[in-house]
Structure 1
Amino acid sequence: MIRALHRWAGLLALVLIGVLALSGAALSVFPAAERLAAPQAAAGLTVATLAERIRAVHPGVEQIRRAPSGRITAYWFDQGVPGAAVIDPATGERVASAGPNRTLRWLTSLHRSLFLGDGGRIAMAAGALAMLVLSLSGIALVARHVGGWRRWFIRLNGPLAGRLHTEIARIAVAGLILSSTTALWMTASTFDLLPDGGATPALPAEVSGETGSALDGMPTLRQTPVSELREVSFPYSGDATDVFTLRTDRGTGYLDQGTGALLGWADLTGWERMSKIIYMLHTGQGAAVLGLLLGVLALGVPAMGATGVAIWLAGGRGRPRIRRNQPASRADTVLLVGSEGGSTWGFAATLHAALTKAGLRVHVGPMSAFAPHRYEAARRIVVLAATYGDGAAPTSARGFLDRLNAAEVMPHAPLAVLGFGDRSFPAYCAFAEAVASSAQAKHWPELLPFHTIDRQSLQEFARWVRSLGRTLGCDLELSHRPVLPMTRTLTLLSRRDYGAEVDAPTAILRFALPPVPLWQRLTGGGFGRFTAGDLIGILPEGSPVPRLYSLASGRRDGFIEIVVRKHPGGLASSRLTALEPGDTVTAFLRRNPGFRTGSGHGPLILIGAGTGIGPLAGFVRGNAGRRPIHLFFGMRRPSSDFLYGDEIPAWQLQGRLTRLVTAVSRGTRPRYVQDALRDDAGEVARLIGNGARVMVCGGREMAAGVADVLTEILASTGLTLEALKVEGRYVEDVY
């Protein structure tokens, strides 16, 4: 519900909110510019002294106004001709014209009413209301996405558009709420929808009838500092019954022009003070720094609009459309999905269709939306959870475990947890297993025992669904269509072959960049933006499960490069290693934000063996800033599988690679990359102590050995591998 409200409010009001935000950002500059340009009154200057100075220069002065910026403006008649100017309070002299700023007037009219009068004001108020709805719903969505308020500024993963959208929102949302609520207040005030809380003193019944009192002889003017002045109006020349009118930040009063006596006074009411604060907060008048800050935050609106549209379009491509999806509060069956790439949503859609056909009322939603109080009508809850990286929660399941562990009362509906993963990875279904264990610890009733699906096996999924059907007492019919990402055709440019001597045929394959639509270039979608360490997916013929390979290049390199070893019976590797220049393959791109070099200039320790050097070589190639990189690379024989052996010397000369340490496993003295680390323990410990980031890529057995050796090395330093992982200084990409 919240997601739909946020999405449609944004899409319907995108242009209106964009105009509102951009014009507001432009207007925020004027109060600051006015304050910088206007001569400021000296501390302690009184209204009496200021008025005397101005009247000495302009004897026909009728009114003096002070803007919230501190600018003093005087209005007068000189021989029947009106005049006005910005005044230097130190001399009373004219320093600038008081004529209106045409640009300011144009922007103000656009911002308030779109040049359409009252109808335009109503439209812009609707835009402000939409902005408020977007801000409040956005807060709820961000909190849900990151796993709670205490994790508000947690580091984000996922596609660039989604990360930018959330990053901007986390910073800008407070300013947008303030701007939108104050805009609605001011609109309501304009249309007299708020109480008239103004207080004006009654006009004096009697005056002295005298004229000509010296201004510095009037106690009230002499005691009022210019810093509190709003305006002072002089009595009409020749009219002994007229009075001075003084308006300040404290209230309004009348002064006798002959005696200077205070004839009446009314303090500002609480309502007037509130209106003044609202005006200051919205316009920046009197708070120029705040106004500029709100203007800068308003610039986030068009950026969030663009990234929001990109997320919406990407979401439409990545998830299947689930028809007849019931609201969570009315569903008897709730399916919660944890997915990173979108494939788990496809299984959820298939299960939803089967359950709906069996006569059940089914709701499908992300695990990140977990809220036990919404499932009062539910008779069963099913969790379908993939695992991201090294046992982490996938994108649509962020915060689920935190909410589950914090919940005081579990849903009464029994739970079934189904994990999706790949047994070749060490953290196989680790997140789903953590969900099942936490639910068991919270004594959540069990609908079915915990089960896993390896490599998206349709047969395993069908067997599990039949078990679910027997538990529910119904036959469930499946018709699963895997969710496939958008693919592009890649043409092979060149290949370099290695490993024949050691019976491990390996190739470095370089493909041409495919044509990328302008929209993807701007948003970074598809092949519009990628870096070394991201993943390229190949869908072998006859298999619904894609094979993923780490990229050894980034977009800036101008090509797509991967390292592939041919595995006996491997569908994808056999196809890829058989390609010749000019041949094509269908592929898609998947981000891998958990395996990036990160920002900063601290040293990198790159550890890999065999084809694991692929992304590591990409990091070295892209190291134009000459960040210190120490590469530990394991191979079988230098004469056979020294991958990137031709490029490495040039990278060292260019300063892209600081040091190379090799380990040869089939030499006279077999040595593995773990041994190379152990032999270099002192330098490795020193680098890590100086803030080095460790990145490991390759087979899981190698990675496990590396972890053991690093644990030994760190024992004497007071650091642990777990601590490095928490800090984001130890990351793996293993297979």
Structure 2
Amino acid sequence: MLSAVPYLQASIILLAWLAFTFWCYRQPIKRWWQGTAATCTTLVAYASESGTAAALANQLQQQLQQQGKSSACLPLNQLQPQQLQQCRQLFIVASTYGDGEAPDNGRLFLPRLRQTQPLTQLRYAVLALGDRQYSQFCAFGMQLHQQLQQAGAQPLFDAITVHQQDPQALQHWQQQLHKQGIISQPGSSAAATPENEPINCSLLQRHWLNPGSPGAPVYQIDLQPQQPLQWQAGDIARLHINNQTRDYTIASLPAEGCLRLLVREHHHPSGQTGLGSGWLCHGLEAGQASHISLRSNPSFHAPEAERPLILIGNGTGLAGLRAHLQQRQQQGSSHNWLIYGERSPLHDGHWQQELQLWHHSGHLQQLDLAFSRHCADQPWPLLSGQLHHGYVQKVLQTQARELHHWVEQGAAIYLCGSRAGMATDVEQALSDILGPTRLQQLIEQGRFRRDVY
């Protein structure tokens, strides 16, 4: 009787060879794909934070391909001026992030557009996604629409705005495309989106992590989903409460047996506790359930396991950074560097024991901790890593040579934490150290990613 073992071994060797070959030729393949996109006269571009805009853009490209129309679909950041000059039809699906901001994979486009030659040959359409609870509803999509007109491009129809994936607005988009002869018949009013239906998650435990801190209380919230859920580092837990939603970056992985959050107690100027943080930090009782859905966040998903990773953040941004470190540990990836900032080393040492164990074991090759409220006469209670007085952007300046080395070794930089102050200052520090051109390259390559709030 013939043994199947040699055939199995041969199959494994063949798959390994194919994977190795693809890895070796990944850059030529990427350049080939970009060259193919450059020759297309019909382009579909997206600026996506949660993956919805990307899904809708890919849906449109599939419709065009089914009708035999050649097209390419790409992130808005990758759309170059020369491609715009050759393009005849451009369809943009763009989300607005936060209060009027562009998603990271689209924020390089507007400055390029303002410098491009007149686009009188171009006809375009914009689908703008947003949320009306923000004052700058669909602001980025509308800026794209206005700037394309100012560049001489002709709109196929007025920009269509969509509140929280409103099916009627999405159907209107499909109908307008059909009316203009772009697609033969309107498709589904919604693309497959990465959010799950809300399920009950009961409170397992809650820990106040920073008693005595000069900042607001921070709590570790461990939830037990009442049915199996799957997510990965970078994904979002969306709390549904009183017909509203609040988003929190997940700090754990499914293998840990709980859905862990890191939540800072928020207070309005009136003194009233924030809706989401008040419920999670005080209102929710042990065993009681909350409605939680998972939102995929592909713009903050992990890089390939063999790529070095620099994680930068502050405050409750440690949640997303911890999840990435957990995932890297599962993958056996130890080329990791954490730069993290808080207020007081005596009171704000969130998960410090775990971080120091990772540093001792070599999982964290480098650990830099910055504390803004440290006094010279206070003892440092930490036993591992490099300790700094000040903010994370100052650490970057101190470690500029090491930062250059990691980036030249192919490192990705992931930033998680507060948008106001920290994120802006860190990005400016990176630009000062690496140079604005190099930072822009990292953004285009997907090697600089943010999850800021």
Q: TM-score when scaled to structure 2?
A: 0.61
After TM superposition, the structure 1 stretch with the greater mean CA deviation from structure 2, 486-495 or 498-507, is 498-507
Does the 8 A contact of 2:236 with 2:247 survive in 1?
yes
Establish whether residue 556 from structure 1 lines up as the match of residue 255 from structure 2: yes
Deviation at 1:507, TM superposition (A): 0.9
Deviation at 1:387, TM superposition (A): 4.2
Establish whether residue 582 from structure 1 lines up as the match of residue 295 from structure 2: no
**Closer, same or farther: CA 615–391 of 1 in aligned 2, 3 Å:** closer
Deviation at 1:452, TM superposition (A): 6.8
**Paired AA for residue 672 in structure 1:** Y
SS for the counterpart of 1:509 is: strand
Establish whether residue 572 from structure 1 lines up as the match of residue 282 from structure 2: no
**Closer, same or farther: CA 656–418 of 1 in aligned 2, 3 Å:** closer
Aligned to 2:400: 681
Deviation at 1:597, TM superposition (A): 2.7
Distance 1:697 1:537 in 2: 17
**Closer, same or farther: CA 512–711 of 1 in aligned 2, 3 Å:** same
Aligned to 1:276: none
SS for the counterpart of 1:563 is: strand
Q: From 321, 324, 330, give the equivalent of 1:616.
A: 321
Distance 2:52 2:304 in 1: 31
Aligned to 2:201: 490
Deviation at 1:423, TM superposition (A): 8.6
SS for the counterpart of 1:686 is: helix
Does the 8 A contact of 1:419 with 1:429 survive in 2?
no
**Paired AA for residue 553 in structure 1:** S
Q: From 439, 443, 447, give the equivalent of 1:721.
A: 439
Aligned to 1:386: 95
Structure 1, unmatched stretches of 5+, are 1-28, 30-148, 155-335, 349-364, 375-381, 394-404, 462-482, 517-526
**Closer, same or farther: CA 729–427 of 1 in aligned 2, 3 Å:** farther
Deviation at 1:573, TM superposition (A): 1.7
**Paired AA for residue 224 in structure 2:** A
Does the 8 A contact of 2:309 with 2:336 survive in 1?
yes
Q: From 686, 691, 711, give the equivalent of 2:431.
A: 711
Distance 2:391 2:409 in 1: 25
Structure 2, unmatched stretches of 5+, are 1-6, 8-31, 38-44, 69-90, 107-117, 170-192, 269-273, 377-388
Distance 2:365 2:136 in 1: 31
Deviation at 1:557, TM superposition (A): 2.3
**Paired AA for residue 588 in structure 1:** S
- 1:227-626 matches, cutoff 5 A: 368=61, 385-387=94-96, 390-392=103-105, 408=121, 410=123, 418-421=128-131, 429-431=139-141, 433-444=143-154, 485-500=196-211, 501-516=213-228, 527=229, 529-543=230-244, 546-569=245-268, 570-578=274-282, 579-624=284-329, 625-626=332-333
Q: CA RMSD in A?
A: 4.8
**Paired AA for residue 506 in structure 1:** V
**Closer, same or farther: CA 598–446 of 1 in aligned 2, 3 Å:** closer
Distance 1:443 1:657 in 2: 50
**Paired AA for residue 727 in structure 1:** Q
**Paired AA for residue 592 in structure 1:** N
**Closer, same or farther: CA 644–508 of 1 in aligned 2, 3 Å:** same
Aligned to 2:391: 672
SS for the counterpart of 1:627 is: coil
**Closer, same or farther: CA 341–621 of 1 in aligned 2, 3 Å:** closer
Deviation at 1:618, TM superposition (A): 1.7
**Closer, same or farther: CA 337–592 of 1 in aligned 2, 3 Å:** closer
Query: 1:358-416: per-residue Cα shift (whole Å, max 9, x none)?
Result: xxxxxxx9654787x99xxxxxxx988534772547xxxxxxxxxxx9994638xxx78
Does the 8 A contact of 2:119 with 2:152 survive in 1?
no
Distance 2:136 2:432 in 1: 21
Aligned to 2:451: 733
Establish whether residue 654 from structure 1 lines up as the match of residue 361 from structure 2: yes
**Closer, same or farther: CA 337–633 of 1 in aligned 2, 3 Å:** closer
Query: 1:325-382: per-residue Cα shift (whole Å, max 9, x none)?
Result: xxxxxxxxxxx999876989xxx9xxxxxxxxxxxxxxxx9654787x99xxxxxxx9
Distance 2:46 2:447 in 1: 30
Deviation at 1:612, TM superposition (A): 0.5
Does the 8 A contact of 2:239 with 2:247 survive in 1?
yes
Identity percentage of aligned residues: 27
**Paired AA for residue 728 in structure 1:** G
Distance 2:154 2:218 in 1: 49
Does the 8 A contact of 2:128 with 2:141 survive in 1?
no
**Paired AA for residue 533 in structure 1:** G
Q: Which has the higher contact order (CA 8 A, sep 6+)?
A: 2
Does the 8 A contact of 1:495 with 1:507 survive in 2?
yes
Query: 1:593-635: per-residue Cα shift (whole Å, max 9, x none)?
Result: 2212311423221100000011111222333314121111110
**Paired AA for residue 601 in structure 1:** E
Does the 8 A contact of 1:417 with 1:435 survive in 2?
no
Aligned to 1:294: none
**Closer, same or farther: CA 426–698 of 1 in aligned 2, 3 Å:** farther
Distance 1:617 1:337 in 2: 29
Distance 1:457 1:568 in 2: 30
Q: From 351, 360, 363, give the equivalent of 1:644.
A: 351
Please say which structure displays the higher CA radius of gyration.
1
SS for the counterpart of 2:337 is: strand
Deviation at 1:667, TM superposition (A): 2.1
Does the 8 A contact of 2:95 with 2:130 survive in 1?
yes
**Closer, same or farther: CA 419–603 of 1 in aligned 2, 3 Å:** closer
Does the 8 A contact of 1:387 with 1:431 survive in 2?
yes
Distance 1:409 1:696 in 2: 36
Does the 8 A contact of 1:626 with 1:655 survive in 2?
no
**Closer, same or farther: CA 337–601 of 1 in aligned 2, 3 Å:** closer
- 1:85-104 matches, cutoff 5 A: none
Distance 2:313 2:51 in 1: 29
Distance 1:425 1:392 in 2: 22
Does the 8 A contact of 1:425 with 1:734 survive in 2?
no
SS for the counterpart of 1:639 is: coil
Does the 8 A contact of 2:105 with 2:444 survive in 1?
no
**Paired AA for residue 655 in structure 1:** G
**Paired AA for residue 95 in structure 2:** A
**Closer, same or farther: CA 339–731 of 1 in aligned 2, 3 Å:** closer
Does the 8 A contact of 2:308 with 2:336 survive in 1?
yes
Distance 2:358 2:442 in 1: 28
Does the 8 A contact of 1:390 with 1:427 survive in 2?
no
**Closer, same or farther: CA 681–423 of 1 in aligned 2, 3 Å:** farther
Distance 1:505 1:603 in 2: 33
Distance 1:726 1:617 in 2: 25
Query: 1:120-175: per-residue Cα shift (whole Å, max 9, x none)?
Result: xxxxxxxxxxxxxxxxxxxxxxxxxxxxx945999xxxxxxxxxxxxxxxxxxxxx
Q: TM-score when scaled to structure 1?
A: 0.39
SS for the counterpart of 2:339 is: strand
**Paired AA for residue 510 in structure 1:** D
Deviation at 1:419, TM superposition (A): 4.5
